[in-house]
């Protein structure tokens, strides 16, 4: 799979109309989406995630994601909530996270590129925080 020369930014994505606009680009060869937790207070990432799930194009697109202060805030908040839960509930969530990762094929070869040491270890922690918010 080759990366397109044009990248679809998501800094302004706040509703489904932006996803519809991306579809036009995709039809013309754009296969790279750039997003961040900071874009529209996390709404852009939600739209990208919903689009990937609904469209079935996860294995046809490159998605770039950045770390931001919003992410740091969510990490602190999620970890604080997790640490305040009873031990049994914490253990249950920590067991469920790898199951979700496997079920969704998140660690399938070619879906992630590691830029710094230990980056791959953040996936399970991210899923635990996801479950905490549920």
> Has residue 65 got a pLDDT over 90?
no
User: How far is residue 101's CA from residue 90's CA, in Å, rounded to a whole number?
Assistant: 17
Backbone angles phi, psi at 64, to 5 degrees: -105, 135
Mean pLDDT of 79-84: 94
Q: Please, which pLDDT band fits residue 130 given cuts at 50, 70 and 90?
A: confident
> Has residue 115 got a pLDDT over 90?
no
Closest Cα partner for 72 from 37, 101, 120, 96? Answer: 37
Query: Tokens at residue 107, please?
Result: 């660690």
For the chain, give the mean pLDDT: 87
Backbone angles phi, psi at 6, to 5 degrees: -105, 135
């Amino acid at each position: 799979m080759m990366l397109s020369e044009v990248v679809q930014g998501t800094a302004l994505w706040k509703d489904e109309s932006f996803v519809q606009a991306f579809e036009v680009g995709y039809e013309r060869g754009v296969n790279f989406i750039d997003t961040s937790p900071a874009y529209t207070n996390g709404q852009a990432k939600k739209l990208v995630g919903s689009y990937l799930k609904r469209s079935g194009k996860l294995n046809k697109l490159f998605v770039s994601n950045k770390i931001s202060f919003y992410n740091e805030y969510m990490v602190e908040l999620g970890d604080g909530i997790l640490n305040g839960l009873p031990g049994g509930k914490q253990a249950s969530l920590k067991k469920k996270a790898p199951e979700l990762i496997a079920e969704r094929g998140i660690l399938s070869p070619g879906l992630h590129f590691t830029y710094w040491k230990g980056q791959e270890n953040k996936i399970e922690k991210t899923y635990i925080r996801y479950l905490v918010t549920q």
